[in-house]
């Protein structure tokens, strides 16, 4: 993959941790020039120091920008110098995202707004910021990281899943609009991944959600990153990291969502029975 990514200019939102940081590391190892973007300057500094250990050559650029993807004015101002210097972002990775699980009736209205502002509008804002030079050059790659719940949502993720469904809908239309312009769009459905975000989610997951998730595995962010880079290099639109994740997606496609809903209803009912029995 080195030949494909060498000297490419890559911007990664949410690049200071989790999947974003794993992607940054792999891009650096493939001799791409990488700029990671996140809100927390301290986390960015630590991430850059971490990435320095994987730099194969002094000619590989590693930089960072502190900005809030949910604030378009702040984001555009923060990116103006980078775009002026780079002229064009070759690859945009939209990895910035937050998740706060909980049953609908327990979630504050603000949680729903936050999920949409960061996960959906953050993706929109980043694309709008880097797209004009891509259109002018008729060249570029945009990778939107959704979630497997952006394909079929589950119990406890009304706020997060809805925002990731929005990313899916955006990507589907964007792919059709930008393909004739020479710009590639990829959509990623990661499963549960061993990241700080998942650790945060586990603190708030309803018991039913934990029971449903217990049957599935957890994937390492490095594996997610490898499959994303491979998928993008092979011009795939839909990227499904992990074998179990692929099987879940294909099963839903084969059964249809109607049967998938019926199966999930049975799983929820079983989890509720176990929860009730545990209280006795």
Q: So what's the pLDDT on residue 280? A: 67
- Structural domains in the chain, sorted by start: 2-249 (3.40.50.720)
For 106, which DSSP code? G
Q: So what's the pLDDT on residue 125? A: 99
Q: Is the dihedral of CA 123, 129, 135, 138 positive or negative?
A: negative
Residues 120, 155, 157, 160: which is the catalytic one?
A: 160
Q: What angle do CA 22, 124, 179 make, to 5 degrees?
A: 85
Residues 16, 95, 146, 171: which is the catalytic one?
A: 146
Task: Quote the pTM value.
Answer: 0.95
Q: So what's the pLDDT on residue 196? A: 95
Residues 164, 171, 189, 205: which is the catalytic one?
A: 164
The two three-digit tokens of residue 42, written as one number: 């301290």
CA distance 237 to 10: 18
279 among known catalytic residues:
no
Q: Which of 152, 191, 189 is nearest to 171 (CA)?
A: 189
84 among known catalytic residues:
no
Alpha helices (runs of H) in the chain, residue ranges in sequence order:
2-5, 18-29, 41-52, 72-86, 109-115, 121-137, 158-178, 196-204, 207-213, 221-233, 243-255, 257-279
Q: So what's the pLDDT on residue 87? A: 97
CA distance 116 to 110: 10
CA distances from 112 to 142, 154, 158, 274 (A): 25, 16, 8, 29
146 among known catalytic residues:
yes
Q: So what's the pLDDT on residue 235? A: 98
**Per-residue pLDDT in tens (0 to 9) along the chain, 280 residues:** 779 999 999 999 999 999 999 999 999 999 999 999 999 999 999 999 999 999 999 999 999 999 999 999 999 999 999 999 999 999 999 999 999 999 999 999 999 999 999 999 999 999 999 999 999 999 999 999 999 999 999 999 999 999 999 999 999 999 999 999 999 999 999 999 999 999 999 999 999 999 988 777 899 999 999 999 999 999 999 999 999 999 989 999 998 999 989 999 999 999 999 988 887 6
59, 52 Cβ separation under 8 angstroms = no
């Amino acid at each position: 993959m080195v030949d494909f990514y060498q000297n490419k200019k890559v911007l990664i939102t949410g690049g200071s941790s989790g999947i974003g940081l794993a992607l940054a590391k792999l891009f650096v190892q493939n001799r791409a020039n990488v700029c990671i973007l996140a809100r927390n300057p301290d986390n960015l500094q630590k991430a850059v120091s971490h990435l320095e250990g994987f730099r194969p050559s002094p000619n590989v650029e590693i930089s960072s920008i502190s900005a809030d993807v949910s604030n378009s004015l702040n984001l555009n101002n923060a990116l103006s110098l980078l775009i002026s210097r780079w002229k064009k972002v070759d690859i945009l990775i939209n990895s910035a995202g937050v998740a706060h699980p909980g049953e609908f009736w327990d979630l504050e209205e603000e949680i729903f707004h936050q999920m949409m502002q960061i996960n959906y509008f953050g993706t929109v804002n980043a694309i709008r910021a880097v797209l004009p030079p891509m259109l002018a050059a008729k060249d570029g790659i945009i990778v939107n990281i959704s979630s497997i719940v952006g394909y079929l949502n589950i119990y406890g993720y009304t706020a997060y899943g809805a925002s990731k469904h929005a990313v899916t809908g955006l990507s589907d239309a964007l792919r059709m609009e930008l393909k004739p312009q020479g710009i590639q769009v990829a959509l990623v459905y990661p499963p549960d991944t061993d990241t700080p975000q998942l650790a945060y989610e586990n603190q708030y997951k309803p018991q039913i959600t934990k029971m449903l998730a217990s049957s599935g595995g957890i994937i390492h962010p490095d594996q997610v990153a490898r499959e994303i880079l491979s998928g993008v290099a092979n011009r795939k639109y839909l990227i499904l990291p992990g074998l179990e994740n692929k099987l879940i997606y294909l099963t839903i496609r084969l059964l249809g969502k109607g049967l998938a809903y019926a199966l999930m209803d049975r799983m929820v009912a079983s989890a509720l029975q176990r929860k009730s029995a545990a209280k006795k």
